[in-house]
Structure formats: structure tokens, C-alpha cells
């Protein structure tokens, strides 16, 4: 049976592609995950890497990813406080999506 | 060298993940591609499958995918005219992204 034949005929809320889309379809979301695949990063590092994102949107996206258990935030009790973000085990599960996006993007 | 080490340090417009994201990050886009992996479909079939999409948004997304050379539209000269959509060879290239999304979504 091919992948296509395995897909549910109708793309409703039970469809696994739709479940993933509901997480990654926001602008910047996959790019934040891409950045964190390289390891823990500070907010300022993400802001520098994601050329064009605003601090407001980065904050919103990180909060969303934290709520969905894909990103874990650690606040280090130093002065000034240091906050770092890393992928959870579940977040790491998106690596294959990012790899497939990277391969496709090489031909664009 | 791991995948992470291959990634550009900064996610600017030359990053392949970002190029792909610019195509698939709109709501519904990956789901339209998912649907067309199963073969050519009429507008009304897509509308039925994509539970919750409006005709207006479906039209916009299909037009965008056509402009990006990912979807090909065929108008059959019958009465009433029949319009079908299928993935181009380039559009088929997104199959691995959809497969990775489907595998991830099975654990959500």
C-alpha cells in the first residue's frame, strides 16, 4: 500500500497531517524549530538568526511552542536573568519535517 | 557531519528551510498538497475533503500554488466546464514533507 492510499480520504481533525499543520503552519514556526535543532539558544540569538522577525512575534511563537510541549524554557537565576530555549523530546520529533523542507528548498 | 551542522547559521532568505516555509506556511497549504498526492481533484472535491475551508480561501491557495508552479490546473471543455487540479513534478517533491508531517502527527 502506498503512502497516498494510507491517507484518510477526508482531511478532517483526525488526519495526522492536519494535526501537524495546526502546529507548524504559523509564519516562522518551522524556522524557530530549525534554529533550535542546533541546540539551546537565547532569545537574542533567535532574534538575530531569524532575519526579519519582530521580538513580539518571536515571543508569541515561543509561547505557543511551549504550550504545545515542543519547546522548553529555562530561566537561569543569574543577574541579569538568562533565558534559554530548547526543543523538548517531542519537539525533536519535527526534525524529519525540517530535513524534508531543507531538501525540497535546495531546488527552489 | 550531522544535518544540524549543515544548516546555515543564520536563517535568512538563502536558507532552504526558509524557502520551503515561504511556500507551505499558509493555513491549508500543506493540506491541499496532501489531498492532491492522491491524484487529480476537482475544486468541489477539495472543498469537501478540506473540512472547514471556505471557497474563497481555497481559490486563493490554489492560485498561489499555481503561481509557484506546484499545482497545475486543467480546464476541460465540457458543459458545464470541468476544472481539475493536480500536482506538478515540483509539487510532488513536497511528498516527503507531507510524509514526515503525517508520521509526526500520529503521536499528537
What pTM did the predictor assign?
Answer: 0.91
A31 CB-contact burial (10 Å; exposed 0-12 / middle 13-18 / buried 19+): buried
The per-residue pLDDT string of chain A (108 residues; one tens digit each, 9 = 90 and over) reads: 677 777 777 788 889 999 999 999 888 999 999 999 999 999 999 999 998 999 999 999 999 999 999 999 999 999 888 899 999 999 999 999 999 999 999 988
Contact A3 B31 (CB under 8 A): no
Contact A102 B23 (CB under 8 A): no
Sequence-distant (6+) residues with CB within 8 A of A105 are B15, B16, B17, B18, B19, B20
SS3 B14: coil
DSSP state of B93: T
Number of helices (H), then strands (E), in chain A: 7, 3
Contact A102 B18 (CB under 8 A): no
Contacts of B48 in chain A (CB under 8 A): 10
User: Given this model, what pLDDT does residue A59 score?
Assistant: 95
User: Given this model, what pLDDT does residue A93 score?
Assistant: 95
**Sheet of strand A41-42, all strands in order from the earlier edge strand to the far edge:** A41-42, A82-87, A71-76
* CA distance linking residue A34 with residue A2, whole number of Å: 29
Of residues B12, B21, B7, the one with CA closest to residue B94: B21
* CA distance linking residue B60 with residue A76, whole number of Å: 46
Q: Is the Cβ of A89 closer than 8 Å to some Cβ of chain B?
A: no
| Closest residue to A7, CB basis, from B16, B38, B90 | B38
Contact B13 A50 (CB under 8 A): no
A64 touches A70 (CB < 8 A):
no
Mean per-residue pLDDT of chain B: 91
Longest CA span, chain A: 58
Percent pLDDT > 70 in chain B is 99
Residue B28 predicted with pLDDT over 70: yes
Amino acid at each position: 500500500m502506498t503512502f497516498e492510499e494510507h491517507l484518510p480520504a477526508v482531511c478532517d481533525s483526525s488526519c495526522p497531517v492536519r494535526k501537524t499543520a495546526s502546529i507548524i503552519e504559523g509564519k516562522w514556526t518551522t524556522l524557530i524549530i530549525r534554529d533550535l535543532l542546533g541546540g539551546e539558544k537565547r532569545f537574542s540569538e533567535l532574534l538575530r538568526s531569524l532575519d526579519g522577525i519582530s521580538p513580539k512575534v518571536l515571543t508569541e511563537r515561543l509561547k505557543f511552542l511551549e504550550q504545545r510541549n515542543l519547546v522548553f524554557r529555562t530561566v537561569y537565576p543569574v543577574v541579569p536573568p538568562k533565558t534559554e530555549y530548547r526543543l523538548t523530546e517531542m519537539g525533536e520529533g519535527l526534525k524529519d519535517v525540517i530535513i524534508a523542507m531543507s531538501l525540497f528548498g535546495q531546488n527552489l
